[in-house]
Amino acid sequence: MDLTDVRSQIDEIDAQLLDLFGRRMALARDVAQSKLETGKAVFDPAREREKLADVAAKAPDGLQEQSVALFSLLISMNKAAQLRMINAARKDSPSHRMRASFLPLETAFPARATVCCQGVEGAYSQIAACKLFSIPSITFAPTFAGVFRAVTEGACEFGVLPIENSTAGSVNAVYDLLGSHGCSIVRAVRLKIDHNLLAKPGATLADIREVVSHSQALNQCAAYLERLGVRTTVCENTARAAELVSTSGRTDLAALSSRACADLYGLSVIERAVQDSDANYTRFAVISREPAIYPGADHSSIQLTLKSEPGALYRVLERIYALNIDLVKLESRPVPGSDFEFTFYFDLACPAVSPAFATLLDSLDDVCSEMRYFGSYTEVL
């Protein structure tokens, strides 16, 4: 058979399908109107079950599963359209609430600011802070929670915290604190991280029996440390590790830390860039107490806890895709204390003020049990 003939038959069928699709979607407006008037929920599980059972029963032979998948998608699009219309008419929709909580700023991101970092002088967070602000006045807190406290209590305008590493993944402790303190991400920076093996001057690789560093750095160098056959000890951060080696008086102890810390703490670099993957990057987030969107913010971060029902994540992804939003990060985490319920971190290459972002937020009610907006920001490379 001639392909051109087959294609023209396909085109004819597609034209009919498109007409029917348009007519089905147009009814979403009437359904939404009726639901707005009656207060009925957009999602009607009993009606959907009946509909899909009917579709399966009437489907052409051998196409039961495909037909159910196709109609699930049609229903999902219909619901998204209904939610868009209903939420546009409501003043308490997720996107209204989110928009009410921030004002896009006209002022540029500040060059001079008081900034809190976790750790001590030489910490990667401090290096990030110096990249983010031209004239930072930096103070240090011993823990991530201490950085959040400094920001929420007003001791510092901003905090700089590691949020994600290309080898070890999200820094969950920081995400948890973001949720519990209600701070916003207002800027981000990506740093290439080289971990170096630092020891007292005169020590050689053969002398080293123990390596101290932050757990993330130890994870990022796990294969290297295994080859060395050394004991590992966790401490608060990589700069503190260098400080510990410097004050220890031991030549069998080494730290995984930055080159800057070798100079700062009078240590020698025994081996450079010992991380398992050369492409080792960490993203640092700048947090502020008040939600603020600086000009040019083109990334947005949200956390969605999905209802534990089949296809929930698929339905979120399908909406992101349909809105032509670029998904730059997706990571899942089990919800503590739940029976394998999952929460997801999404980073979207999408400004908070874009209609696509508002539409996305307003169309998630039916699949999410909880939604949190972390902020919109520019990512500095």
Ligand X SMILES: O=C(O)C(=O)C[C@]1(C(=O)O)C=C[C@@H](O)C=C1
- Say whether residue 298 binds ligand X (CB under 6 A): no
CB of 82 to ligand X, least distance (A): 6
Nearer of residues 51 and 250 to ligand X, judged by Cβ: 51
Alpha-carbon distance 345 to 285, whole Å? 14
Among 31, 85, 113, 189, binds ligand X (CB under 6 A): 31
Among 43, 102, 281, 342, binds ligand X (CB under 6 A): 43
Alpha-carbon distance 75 to 44, whole Å? 11
For the packed helices 64-89 and 3-38, what is the interaxial angle rounded to 10 degrees? 40
What's phi and psi for 292, nearest 5 deg? -145, 140
- Find the angle CA(233)-CA(239)-CA(240) to the nearest 5 degrees: 55
Nearer of residues 195 and 315 to ligand X, judged by Cβ: 315
Q: How far is CA 35 from the centre of its chain?
A: 34
Alpha-carbon distance 161 to 155, whole Å? 16
Q: What is the pairing mode between strands 268-271 and 196-199?
A: antiparallel
The contacts of residue 325 (CB under 8 Å, 6+ apart) are 348, 349, 350, 356, 357, 360
- Whether 140 contacts 132, CB under 8 Å: no
Side-chain half-sphere exposure of 299, counting CA atoms within 13 A: 17
CB of 40 to ligand X, least distance (A): 7
- By CB under 6 A, the count of residues binding ligand X is 10
CB of 27 to ligand X, least distance (A): 8
Among 33, 36, 48, 268, binds ligand X (CB under 6 A): 48
Part in contact with ligand X (CB under 6 A); list of ranges 4-12, 45-53, 200-208, 238-246: 45-53
Nearer of residues 7 and 40 to ligand X, judged by Cβ: 40
For the packed helices 64-89 and 312-322, what is the interaxial angle rounded to 10 degrees? 70
CB of 312 to ligand X, least distance (A): 14
- Residue 1's CB is within 10 A of a number of other CB atoms, namely 6
CB of 33 to ligand X, least distance (A): 11
- Say whether residue 200 binds ligand X (CB under 6 A): no
- Residue 47's CB is within 10 A of a number of other CB atoms, namely 10
- Say whether residue 318 binds ligand X (CB under 6 A): no
Nearer of residues 50 and 263 to ligand X, judged by Cβ: 50
Task: Name the closest residue to ligand X (Cβ).
Answer: 78
CB of 52 to ligand X, least distance (A): 9
Alpha helix stretches (DSSP H) within the chain? 3-38, 45-58, 64-89, 94-100, 124-132, 144-152, 172-181, 215-220, 222-228, 238-248, 259-264, 312-322, 355-362
Site for ligand X in 138-197 (CB under 6 A): none
Part in contact with ligand X (CB under 6 A); list of ranges 40-48, 139-147, 198-206, 280-288: 40-48
- Residue 70's CB is within 10 A of a number of other CB atoms, namely 13
The contacts of residue 156 (CB under 8 Å, 6+ apart) are 114, 115, 116, 139, 150
CB of 190 to ligand X, least distance (A): 41
Part in contact with ligand X (CB under 6 A); list of ranges 14-22, 46-54, 144-152, 261-269: 46-54
Among 36, 51, 64, 379, binds ligand X (CB under 6 A): 51
Nearer of residues 43 and 342 to ligand X, judged by Cβ: 43
Site for ligand X in 53-92 (CB under 6 A): 75, 78-79, 82
Among 9, 12, 15, 47, binds ligand X (CB under 6 A): 47
| Chain contacts with ligand X (rule: CB under 6 A) | 31, 43-44, 47-48, 51, 75, 78-79, 82
